[in-house]
Amino acid sequence: MGQSAAAGDGLDGLILDEAADWLMRLHDQELSAAERADFESWRARSLAHGQAWERAEMLMGKLGDLPGAWAMPVLDRSVRHASVSRRRVVAKLAALLAVAPASWLGWRWVDQQGWVADVRTATGEQRRLTLADGSQLLLDTSTAVDIIFDSNQRTIYLRHGAISIETAPDRSGLQRTFAVQTSLGRLRALGTRFTVRSTQERVHLAVTEGAVEVTLRGQTTPHTVVPAGQQTELTGQASVAPLTPVSVRQQAWVQGMLMADALPLAEVCAELSRYRSGLLQCAPEVAGLRVSGAYPLADTDRALAMLEATYPILARQRLRGRWVTLLPR
């Protein structure tokens, strides 16, 4: 790398190399107490060292938004066995650190405008991500989140939609909390697997493993802790609904399915419409028909065909399938 890697930004290329190496070590293994002391000593050695690490933290917070060719060698522990050597990966990271201020300026400006999120899904799309700390994140259809990882926090800001999270221990050694920030409150994970769905007026939280601490918007003291197997809702009235058992049906989307057990056809139609472009509606004559079964969310045409084959209904399609009405057969 040398001096040229950081030309024009005032940071020495060798220091950026060292910052990239520490970033790899922090995410690839648990550091011993002696190694942690070495790292803290390196970071405090000079102002330039501190600035280089601040830039590394910015990169750490953006790994989930980088192209796979850059991010995956850092996140994948199998890199040691791959043809690309660890030294080459460190060199890539150092090069990215060198150009970071210019390349991230656009991202930061766009984010401040609120026009785009770090990660979003289209109608009918579900996306799985492995975050920089190893946590697993699943985004449901029409969902947008911001991913904020720095030296103080691991935060997912849920703009809208639904997510499922399986948290991992903080391998950085910084003991950062993991939380989901919503418009109605903050949900802090306590070693957890949970789902969050946010609409304009409500935030639904369901915990399947561990527990989640709930702090309402505008408050600093936690309101309650939701244990495994329980669910609740936050509302616009700054309140938390009483705990109830987790609904298997409401969690089925995590497996890509819609589960119905004597559910009115109108509700099945409304849920399928969230995963389908265009208009899907249900005629009043069949809206109350009770439906049971498991239907694939990734293939709503197949789901509609299954309904037609099982119940006395007809899916009338117009505009090349972009306008579908469920009618009595």
Q: What is the mean pLDDT of each run of 10 residues along the chain (329 residues)?
A: 40 80 70 83 87 74 43 40 51 61 46 54 92 91 88 87 93 84 93 91 94 90 94 87 93 95 94 92 94 95 95 89 89
Pairing type for strands 239-240 and 323-328 reads: unpaired
Question: Where, residue-wise, is CATH 3.55.50.30 in the chain?
Answer: 256-328
Nearest to 258 by CA among 241, 273, 272: 272
pTM (2 d.p.)? 0.65
Question: Where, residue-wise, is CATH 2.60.120.1440 in the chain?
Answer: 119-248
Nearest to 200 by CA among 188, 217, 216, 183: 183
Dump pLDDT digits (tens) for 148-199. 887 778 899 999 999 999 999 887 777 889 999 998 999 999 988 999 999 8
Are 136 and 129 within 8 A, CB to CB? yes
Q: pLDDT value at position 86? A: 54
Handedness of CA 142, 139, 187, 31 (dihedral sign): negative
Q: pLDDT value at position 318? A: 85
Q: Which architecture does CATH list for 119-248?
A: Sandwich (2.60)
Q: pLDDT value at position 27? A: 62
Q: Which architecture does CATH list for 256-328?
A: 3-Layer(bab) Sandwich (3.55)
Location of structure tokens 């000079």: 46
